Amino acid sequence: MTNELTVLTALKSVLIANVNQYLAEGYTQLTSANVLMEYPEVDNMPSDVTVFINGNYAEYEELATINDQSTFVVSVFLIVKRDTQSNLTTKMYTYFNGIYQSIRKSMDLNHTVDFAMITEADFFPAIEANKNVQGVEISLAVHYTKDF
């Protein structure tokens, strides 16, 4: 049965499996160590590049007595630090575009959901008033049938 935790886990797997192919040599690879299903915390990032995945909210519409149509809105926080400001900007947009391409390539999150799409992205040239930390908050709308 597909549920919210299944969606978050599938999204994490897709990002780890696909984003790295869009990165230039020398970029930190995404692994299970720096793609986390937890709230972003800049001071405790395990790497200079970390992706945090969080559920934001969900909407449900009854389809039948055995399932609902679900829209689960997920926030993906990408944070980069420990580099010059211009390099951070380049890295942030490179990783963002890798995430964007990965979602477009696997809209069904490896056959877990009906489809997922990025609906918006908010870019931050400084986080916590620190210009040496940049990031983006990406919103995804994930549509799937929740059976019970």
pTM of the predicted protein model: 0.94
What is the residue extent of each domain of the chain? Answer: 4-147
**Which pLDDT band holds residue 64 (cuts at 50, 70, 90)?**
confident
Average pLDDT over residues 104-117: 96
The CATH number, out of the four listed (3.20.20.70, 3.30.2000.10, 3.40.50.300, 3.30.830.10), of the domain defined by the range 4-147: 3.30.2000.10
pLDDT at 55 over 90: yes
| Predicted pLDDT at 98 | 97
| Predicted pLDDT at 103 | 97
CA distance 5 to 77: 17
| Predicted pLDDT at 120 | 97
Mapped onto helix, strand or coil, the DSSP state of residue 107 is coil
Closest by CA to 7, choosing from 85, 87, 98, 70, is 70
| Predicted pLDDT at 122 | 98
Strands 49-64 and 67-81: antiparallel
Helix axes 4-18, 85-105, angle to 10 degrees: 120
Name the DSSP class of 23. S
